[in-house]
Structure 1
């Protein structure tokens, strides 16, 4: 059964292609994953937030509304097709001035610091080197910032998720909560200040 379910749920190392987004970024997802309920508690007006691996902007657009005119959302992805889709959605929503689209390499070296909140929703499992990935997020997050990692239950599995949490902790994050998010496993981290 394991191999069949691995195939069915696309388990393994990969980067989600643009054509697959319709399966999880649609009307029905909006019924179970409400961005306001999931991230609003961590974002305030004027914040600079990072949506890493944002897909086609399911959280990017609502977060742009949350940060207000003085804030900014950085949508960082390795695929230009994803960023192009976000660009169109941002223009339609009137938030294109608040959203900075950033094509990045897997090591995220293009991301600047000064971030108040980071969201990695259903994408951390795609990082080729999770320790380096989390270390880079730690480096660009403000000292009082928070990082929310959410992974899909059926795709990632508990063992792999626990390994991701340990990698994030090894990179300097401290687990502070595990919010209940439908169809997902989640970990909210605070930054541990390095001396």
Structure 2
């Protein structure tokens, strides 16, 4: 289902910048689902655009696991988090192409513009389901110009088969997005 292409770390600068907040404000997108004290995971965190927003939302009593394949992404994310005084709320996790490698139960998951890069979405969603607490949510979004409606629907069908039910379709600019729920 995937072309196995992973966005190079240096290309992330083209869309992970201060102007993006005008289009994708992390607080506006996530605050309805993430509360203080929660444990959240940002899968495919990149340079930390959403990780930092999650870290602000979970507060000092919460935790964010930031997972990415590329060490350069994690290094930049941690540097940004340190600069904002948020690094103590974030655990970096170096993933590999076939596993996120996290076993910590989470209250909320975010997979923003990345599942189309996963070699096997079935394995991915099974792993995510295993760490989502019962009734926990996963916000799943893909870039609308890059992932066709039919491919997006196929990926959603895979999520449903693994036990993640679509709670609602979401309107996020330039994205196809849904809120999925772990029906444990």
Distance 2:146 2:36 in 1: 33
State the number of aligned residues.
183
Does residue 153 of structure 1 match 2:144?
yes
SS at match of 2:170: coil
- Matches of residues 1-12 of structure 1 in structure 2 within 5 Å? 12=3
TM-score, length-normalised on structure 2?
A: 0.96
**1:13: Cα distance to partner?**
3.2
Unaligned stretches of 5+ in structure 2? none
> What corresponds to 2:60 in structure 1?
69
Would you identify which runs of 4 or more consecutive aligned residues in structure 1 move more than 4 Å? none
Pick aligned residue for 2:73 from 76, 82, 89? 82
Unaligned stretches of 5+ in structure 1? 1-10
**1:112: Cα distance to partner?**
1.5
**1:157: Cα distance to partner?**
1.1
Query: 1:47-79, CA deviations, whole angstroms, 9 ceiling, x for partnerless residues?
Result: 000000011000000110100001000000111
- Matches of residues 173-184 of structure 1 in structure 2 within 5 Å? 173-184=164-175
- Matches of residues 63-142 of structure 1 in structure 2 within 5 Å? 63-108=54-99, 110-142=101-133
TM-score, length-normalised on structure 1?
A: 0.91
Which of these two proteins has the greater Rg computed from alpha carbons? 1
